[in-house]
Amino acid sequence: MTGTGPSFVWIDGVLRPADGQHLSVSDRAFQLGDGIFETLRAKGGRVTELAEHVARLRRSADGLAIELPAGLETMLEAGIADLLAAEHLDGPDGDASVRITVSRGAWAGRGLLPPVGEHLVATIVVQAWPVLPPPAGHLERGLSLIASAVRRDPGNPVIALKTTSRADYVFARIEARRAGAEDALFLTVSGHLSEATTANIFLVRVAPDGVTELATPSLDCAILPGTTRSWLLRWGASAGLRVTEGRLTPDELVTASEAFLSSSVAGVLPVTRFHGHPIGDGVPGPWTLRARADREAFIGDGPPAAGSADPSATRPDSAATRPDSAATRPDSGR
Ligand SMILES: Cc1ncc(COP(=O)(O)O)c(C=O)c1O
């Protein structure tokens, strides 16, 4: 193994040294990408939206007919807690990126079809890394994106599953690096925005009727239904934005006032250039910074009190509770 990383890995209920030899070469996730995963954030030892991630893991498992053990959520909760403690990431200052990977298991035979009649036991792995601050400039200048040459078919049912087959995504990231950009956007076969390689995309724009909108590609645009995306849709409504999901074009991206990416670990990241064209003023916009601050506060403070549907309600002084705040109101829109 190269590179520095965690000391431990949790595998099927046992903490093991991270640099040991753990999996069979016949493991189907290694051979075929026949596995699923989730990545989530744990701050101060508190796991953000575990139930939502487990629900998506179950949907991914259903899609690939991977059998998950009973009591999965409880098992994962305990496993994550043990791992965070072992990695010293469970204290008040701990901030961890947690990855849960489930492989269909090891099968020494050949072929794509999971063998019928053989009881393959899924391997469940949990890893944790410290969350590093975004690289220099990402928050101050925003990200530069390109469109990937890989097109997305909205009729492809596998896109909505979070499988370990990520070659398209790695390819797109390499395209971005070669172009001097930070990330790549997938477009659908009809040329609409889909998502970035590890994040959903949002636009902020002023509609012809003067209302400020938070717009994001709809679920039929070949996207992963992001947990942060769902949170932001609720956040946008509570912050006084008109929230829309639909088919968006690259032209709408470059003419938006602001754009940002959303994901569980990186949170909200501003996007300020697409193929070199500035978006809005070409700098991170006020709604983006506010979304990021409110999401980070939510992650830090935990979920809202029972009965509250307002995702910003975790912070009594949240800017989102003051939609007309002069300090945060975008004063221009395109
Ligand atoms: C392709 C893709 N889209 C979107 C997301 C965002 O999902 P979430 O907000 O649940 O992290 C991810 C997260 O890893 C992703 O890999």
From 67, 100, 130, the end of a domain falls on 130
Domain with 65 in it: 8-130
Q: Is the pLDDT of residue 309 over 70?
A: no
pLDDT band at 321 (very low <50, low <70, confident <90, very high): very low
pLDDT averaged over every residue in the chain? 90
Q: Is the pLDDT of residue 136 over 90?
A: no
| CA 117 to ligand 1 centroid distance, Å | 34
What pTM did the predictor assign?
0.90
* CATH number, domain containing residue 161: 3.20.10.10
Least Cα distance to 288 among 330, 322, 230 occurs for: 330
Our answer on whether the CB atom of 39 is closer than 6 Å to any ligand 1 atom is: yes
Least Cα distance to 152 among 56, 63, 223 occurs for: 223
pLDDT band at 310 (very low <50, low <70, confident <90, very high): very low
* CATH number, domain containing residue 57: 3.30.470.10
Supply the pLDDT for residue 118: 77
Q: Are residues 148 and 201 in the same domain?
A: yes
Q: Is the pLDDT of residue 218 over 50?
A: yes
Our answer on whether the CB atom of 194 is closer than 6 Å to any ligand 1 atom is: no
- Kindly tell me the burial class for residue 269, based on how many C-beta atoms sit within 10 Å of its own C-beta (0-12, 13-18, 19 or more): buried
Question: Considering only CA atoms, which residue is closest to atom 16 of ligand 1?
Answer: 198
Q: Are residues 124 and 270 in the same domain?
A: no
- pLDDT tens sequence across 10-35: 999 999 999 999 999 999 999 999 99
Question: Considering only CA atoms, which residue is closest to atom 2 of ligand 1?
Answer: 198
Say if 333 falls within a structural domain: no
Our answer on whether the CB atom of 195 is closer than 6 Å to any ligand 1 atom is: yes
Our answer on whether the CB atom of 263 is closer than 6 Å to any ligand 1 atom is: yes
Rounded to whole angstroms, what are the CA distances from 312 to 48, 204, 211, 263, 332? Answer: 14, 18, 21, 17, 24
Our answer on whether the CB atom of 288 is closer than 6 Å to any ligand 1 atom is: no
Question: Considering only CA atoms, which residue is closest to atom 5 of ligand 1?
Answer: 199
Our answer on whether the CB atom of 314 is closer than 6 Å to any ligand 1 atom is: no
| CA 183 to ligand 1 centroid distance, Å | 13
Paired tokens of 28? 């189907």
- pLDDT tens sequence across 47-99: 999 999 999 999 999 999 999 999 999 999 999 999 999 999 999 999 999 99
